[in-house]
Structure 1
Amino acid sequence: MLDDLARRLGDRAPAVEVTVPTVVHVLTDGRRRAPDSAVRSQIATLNAAYGGRYGGVDTGVRFVLEAVVVTRNPSWFADPLGNEAAMKSSLRRGGPETLNLYIAQLSELVLGYSTYPYWYDGGPLLDGVVIDWRSLPGGALRNFNRGYTGVHEIGHWLGLFHTFENGCGAPGDGVDDTPAEEMPTEGCPAGKDTCPGGGKDPIHNFMDYAYDRCMSEFTKGQAVRMHEMWSAYRTTLTNPDPR
């Protein structure tokens, strides 16, 4: 993947600023759904997290809410993963630059999931991010209700791996300034160091698995990677709309 990224970028400098048009799809079974206020808070949380206002760097990535679409479909709400193709084929809007954020109900073992930018060519209709409605700011999921599930999953959509990718082995997550980490962080520990010689584990990084209250930052290297991925995969494709 990194070789393909370098090939696509060539001699071009990555985008300096990234503005992400965002369409939020709120799924409901007719009784349960993400409140409008929580959706607005989620967008504000994304901009604060990616703007460095909780810690770490300002990544230069911003999210602009273009639409909120409410869809009543009990099956899609209760099992978005099992109904992914039908749901996304029906609802998805825009091209590779548009974030389609689907908010439904998942299990507590799967708070969200995302596609990667380099998957777009092979399945444009499936591009997007799905998160549990209870993970939005003020939601019902204890320890995961500050909106950081969305921050984390959208990090994948922008091209980041988990900080514990490949454990202690090279190339790790492919970002130089995130120390190698053998295993995901659980809870909110005071600290941990699972890979000798590489620095303490990045337990506060949004791309780890810590509780929301323990997460606060992206690194400069992650910001560079997101801009590279944006330039290589989300601004150079010729198909403006998969439908």
Structure 2
Amino acid sequence: MRLNTAFLALALAITSVSAAVPHLDHAVHGVRSASGSLVDRLCGTIITPEKKAAAEKDFSLKRVLATAVAANNWPVYINVHFHVVAANTSIEGGYVPQSQVDSQIEILNKDYKNTGVQFRLDNTSRTINADWFENVNPYTSEATLMKETLRRGGPETLNVYTVSFDNGYAAGLLGYATFPSDYEDEPKDDGVVIQYGTLPSGNLYPYNLGRTLTHEVGHWVGLYHTFQGGCDPETGGDEVADTPAQAVPTRGCPTFRPDTCPEQPGFDPIHNYMDYSDDVCMRGFTPGQAARFRDQIRTYRGINV
């Protein structure tokens, strides 16, 4: 895969981040063409086999199993603080209407319907700050200040921020997230940041049906990409038994593609929320993914699910 120089720089920056357990790097998605139009999803996260092994060892030592699904324990609700950060009060400046925020929560709940987890909008904050709107990305002081100022709640609370990613090497990103195991070391950094045009009815076609938040929340609750580590049976995989091994991310909206890990059972999960297909082609999580992330959020976020 050919990466532009900006994202090579991003990859180099990520590899320099400390590999201390249980921290995992942010998940970063999206790239624009030279003309500025959004053409693809791209993840700048590099989770080496060594880092993944250390993180999984930590999880195995601390793991608290989720309770058995029962009528009186389904679903568990996670409160959401939604922070609209904008350059001005126009939609083009990121000042999205409440209707889009409400629609995004509806999509999130629809996509997580069969997992045992649902989301409840607690509050929508609105901040006019052009510097944050344009310059926030995983490695800037603007992101740190924005989160320190706006973030609410503890590890059990989902904070979502909408910005533009319009400046520097982050131009074109769709979103990024922290993992549950990050919270202990970096509690103020916890949350999900997405491009405002990815909200339902936003302007980033074909990524404007709200599935960017679905995907990023997947990381926030502890899921890897379905193509994590490629086909290597020893170090690859997303630690979920019912998502077949996958060598490379899916692009566009295929109905079928040749299996990229033919030596291992199952066809690529090309319609999974943790892959990279277009929003319209993302269709679900597997039972194994739901079981894993329930254990993750009970272990690291203290959510009794």
TM-score (norm 2): 0.72
Deviation track 1:111-152 (CA, whole Å, cap 9, x = no partner) reads: 000000000011000000000110000010111000000000
Structure 1 residue 3: Cα displacement: 2.3
Residue of structure 2 in register with 1:22 after alignment:
80
Q: Following superposition, which runs of at least 4 residues in structure 1 exceed 6 angstroms of deviation?
A: none
Overall identity of the aligned pairs, in %: 46
Contact 2:66 2:294 in 1 (8 A): no
Contact 1:15 1:231 in 2 (8 A): no
Structure 1 residue 9: Cα displacement: 2.5
Is it true that 1:184 corresponds to 2:249 in the alignment? yes
Q: 1:47 aligns with which of 91, 109, 125?
A: 109
Residue of structure 1 in register with 2:287 after alignment:
220
Is it true that 1:103 corresponds to 2:170 in the alignment? no
Task: Give the SS at the match of 2:145.
Answer: helix
Instruction: Calculate the aligned-residue CA RMSD, in Å.
Output: 1.5
Residue of structure 1 in register with 2:57 after alignment:
3
Q: Bigger relative contact order, structure 1 or 2, given CA contacts below 8 A and separation 6+?
A: 1
Q: 2:203 aligns with which of 137, 140, 153?
A: 140
**Which amino acid is the alignment partner of residue 230 of structure 1?**
I
Deviation track 1:174-226 (CA, whole Å, cap 9, x = no partner) reads: 10000111000000112121001321110100000000011010000000011
The residue correspondences of 1:43-192 to structure 2 (distance < 5 A) are 43-51=105-113, 58-81=114-137, 82=140, 83-106=142-165, 109-170=172-233, 171-192=236-257
Q: Structure 2 CA distance, aligned partners of 1:15 and 1:234?
A: 18
Contact 1:15 1:230 in 2 (8 A): no
Q: Structure 1 CA distance, aligned partners of 2:104 and 2:195?
A: 12
Residue of structure 1 in register with 2:34 after alignment:
none
Structure 1 residue 28: Cα displacement: 0.8
Aligned length: 229
Q: Structure 2 CA distance, aligned partners of 1:6 and 1:217?
A: 26
Task: Give the SS at the match of 2:124.
Answer: strand
Mind listing any 5+ residue stretches in structure 1 that lack a counterpart?
52-57, 237-243
Q: Structure 2 CA distance, aligned partners of 1:127 and 1:25?
A: 13
Task: Give the SS at the match of 1:203.
Answer: coil
**Which amino acid is the alignment partner of residue 194 of structure 1?**
T
Q: Structure 1 CA distance, aligned partners of 2:291 and 2:124?
A: 29
